[in-house]
Amino acid sequence: MGIVNLQSDRIHYYLVVIFSVILMIFPSYLFSQILLKESKANFYFLESKVIENGKVEQYLTTRMSHFWYANSFAGRNDLLSVSIGDSLLRENRFKMYPSLNAEVALDGGNINEKGTYVNVAPTVAVLASYKIPPVGRYRIIFWTIFEKHSVFSREEIYDFHYDFDSYKEVGWVSRVENNKWREYDIGDGGIQLFYPSGEIALVKSNPIWGPGYSGQLLLSNKSPSFSFISVNHRISKRWRFSYLHGFLNSTYKDSTYEYLGVTGSARPGFPLVRKYVVAHRLDYYPRQNFRLGFGESVIYGGRGPELGYIIPVVPYWSIQHDLKDSDNVQWYVDFDLVKKDIGRLYGAFYLDEWDLLKTFDKDKSRNWIAYQTGLTYKLPVLKALGSTIRLEYTHLTPYVYVHRNRINTVEHWGHPLGYWSGPNSDNLFVAVEGSPNYRLWFQLYAQYTRRGVVNDSTVIWQYKTIHIPFLYHNGDYSSGEYSPSLYDPNLYEGEPENKTVFGIRGEIRLGSFALIDFDLFYLDWKQKFNPDSSYRHQFEKWDVIIKVSVGF
């Protein structure tokens, strides 16, 4: 392991040296750069542009939660600024974008069942971006974004995370004095080298792989960000190759370091057991309005980076066999079909495990799958508003994302890397949205989500090829047939857990210096699990979340 760690450190060192030498050898100059963060509004404008042009773009399927553009796009830029800030903080080779963000929920938002909370976050973004002569076809950006959040609530916050919701998780959170005040920070950034056929990146962000709108099956924006190395290269006019190797938080402490802890210390800070995600894919564009993608991903850990997975072009299925099937391999296929000025049809298929010889055996099949299909249609009425209707359905069987070795679950910080509702669930999303101009976007939406139980028993059963019913939440199937179960707080009677949400949300841009997001919604959550009392209940509410961002 020591040799592997040394090799990993050397790789990071060489990458930094290479980027530094490039900048020293070539005289460089700063060029304009805009940032588009992952948001419903940004996706609407970029997808609308794709439909208008009748041409599939990479952004729809392979992007990061911080997406950089070299030129202006429809007047949108998430780096908020004012003219006085331009003169004081933004020079030719170095630019800073300080801002203040505040989020208010009147009745608990997506964190609590009730009670007003305020989330205040001073933020600073730092950027240096260069073109590399002599021809200027290469460019490199260095960037970082730091957010310091303070959350104040009228009600106690026992578990700060967005359970059964697509909101992005935050990772580490500290308590201050009581459960009504929480502190956390988010730091993202990286070095990205762009060249005519693609890019090479060393970043901390969220890779988003998949064509979905409400979430993606493979890699989504649900989990906290993580560090990864990626390559995105256009091989030819019709083929594009993508690769990444990421470093995850397993949440499991490495007990081999216990002897280093100070006796009596409550927080010795033991290192965690290592965990990684690696993925590669090929995208084929037979026509400019159609894309077909396929690839593999692997979750592995308990050791240093595996050289076989660092090689981008070797099939991971075979490498995993060489390693005695100790890791968790997935396969996926997805597509985009765009009809100019009409709409977009897309879908994704995710296969967590497959036994070719038992594919059609209903009793012994190990086809552990998830799938997603969606449609975006530009309405012929109210064209001036860019009116669009959106429909998407996602289905995940009880077998996906889990593994008999907990280090290999498809999670980061204990949250899904893929679709937010997790295994044994489905989600139906419907929306009508539009925008009269780039300063205003609005969406009327409705969503219905169901979720069953996944526990140690269901994981054991699936490896014994015992069929687990979809949305399973009660009963014992260890014999292959239903029988009354012993008491388990995860199991319950009645209908499966489900949540209905509908509302209106939108974005308002006030020039280049301010941004307002709002979400007025109704929530009805049935069979919600209460971890403090180990019982399930129903609650419903009307609520509004307002977020204001002001740049300097």
Binned at pLDDT 50, 70 and 90, residue 133 comes out as: confident
Binned at pLDDT 50, 70 and 90, residue 174 comes out as: confident
Rounded to whole angstroms, how far apart are CA atoms 92 and 27?
Answer: 14
Tokens 């690696």 belong to: 278
Binned at pLDDT 50, 70 and 90, residue 384 comes out as: confident
How many Cβ atoms sit within 10 Å of the Cβ of residue 335? Answer: 20
Write down the number of H helices and E strands in the chain: 6, 26
Confidence at residue 386, expressed as pLDDT on a 0 to 100 scale: 86
Tokens 């309005």 belong to: 289
Burial class (CB in 10 A: 0-12, 13-18, 19+), 383: exposed
Binned at pLDDT 50, 70 and 90, residue 460 comes out as: confident
Rounded to whole angstroms, how far apart are CA atoms 202 and 228?
Answer: 6
Confidence at residue 5, expressed as pLDDT on a 0 to 100 scale: 46
Confidence at residue 283, expressed as pLDDT on a 0 to 100 scale: 98
Query: Which CATH number does the domain 2-260+267-452+496-551 belong to among 2.40.160.130, 2.60.40.10, 3.90.226.10, 3.40.50.1980?
Result: 2.40.160.130
Please, which residues have CB within 8 angstroms of residue 146's CB and are 6 or more apart in sequence? 123, 124, 185, 186, 187
Mean pLDDT lowest among 228-242, 281-295, 300-314, 363-377: 363-377
Binned at pLDDT 50, 70 and 90, residue 491 comes out as: confident
Q: Which whole number is the average pLDDT over 436-444?
A: 94
Residue 348 bridge partners (DSSP): 334, 372
Q: Which whole number is the average pLDDT over 486-495?
A: 74
Instruction: Note whether 33 and 129 are within 8 A (CB).
Output: yes
Binned at pLDDT 50, 70 and 90, residue 23 comes out as: very low
How many Cβ atoms sit within 10 Å of the Cβ of residue 87? Answer: 9
The residue among 2 and 468 whose pLDDT is bigger is: 468
How many Cβ atoms sit within 10 Å of the Cβ of residue 334? Answer: 27
Predicted confidence (pLDDT) per residue in 60-110, tens digit: 999 999 998 766 555 689 999 999 999 999 987 899 999 999 999 999 998
The residue among 334 and 162 whose pLDDT is bigger is: 334
Confidence at residue 30, expressed as pLDDT on a 0 to 100 scale: 43
Rounded to whole angstroms, how far apart are CA atoms 65 and 189?
Answer: 11
H or E element, residue 308: helix 307-310
The candidate with the shortest Cα–Cα distance to 167, out of 219, 238, 215, is 215
Q: Which whole number is the average pLDDT over 188-210?
A: 96
Q: Which whole number is the average pLDDT over 463-484?
A: 74
Please, which residues have CB within 8 angstroms of residue 33's CB and are 6 or more apart in sequence? 68, 69, 70, 127, 129, 141
Rounded to whole angstroms, how far apart are CA atoms 91 and 89?
Answer: 7
Rg for the chain, CA atoms, rounded:
24
Binned at pLDDT 50, 70 and 90, residue 26 comes out as: very low
How many Cβ atoms sit within 10 Å of the Cβ of residue 252? Answer: 15
The candidate with the shortest Cα–Cα distance to 7, out of 327, 307, 313, is 307
Most distant CA pair in the chain, distance: 74
Confidence at residue 121, expressed as pLDDT on a 0 to 100 scale: 97
Q: pTM, whole model, 2 decimals?
A: 0.91
Binned at pLDDT 50, 70 and 90, residue 1 comes out as: very low
Sign of the Cα torsion 65, 452, 492, 489 reads negative
N-terminal to C-terminal alpha carbon distance within the chain: 47
Instruction: Note whether 341 and 51 are within 8 A (CB).
Output: yes
Rounded to whole angstroms, how far apart are CA atoms 293 and 148?
Answer: 38
Inform me whether the pLDDT recorded for 484 exceeds 90. no
Token pair of 415, please? 């949250």
The candidate with the shortest Cα–Cα distance to 386, out of 324, 423, 345, 434, is 434
Rounded to whole angstroms, how far apart are CA atoms 297 and 331?
Answer: 7
The candidate with the shortest Cα–Cα distance to 405, out of 291, 299, 268, is 299
Inform me whether the pLDDT recorded for 21 exceeds 90. no
H or E element, residue 318: helix 316-322
Binned at pLDDT 50, 70 and 90, residue 2 comes out as: very low
Sign of the Cα torsion 296, 297, 300, 306 reads positive
Amino acid at 75: G
Binned at pLDDT 50, 70 and 90, residue 273 comes out as: very high
Confidence at residue 364, expressed as pLDDT on a 0 to 100 scale: 62
What average pLDDT does the chain have? 87
Predicted confidence (pLDDT) per residue in 204-238, tens digit: 999 999 999 999 999 999 999 999 999 999 999 99
The values of phi and psi at residue 23, to 5°, are -70, -30
How many Cβ atoms sit within 10 Å of the Cβ of residue 381? Answer: 7
Percent of the chain with pLDDT strictly greater than 70: 85
Inform me whether the pLDDT recorded for 260 exceeds 80. no
Q: What share of the chain is helix, strand, coil (3-state, %, to 5)?
A: 15, 50, 35
Strand pairing of 535-551 and 95-105? antiparallel
Token pair of 193, please? 């080298």
Q: Which whole number is the average pLDDT over 474-503?
A: 75
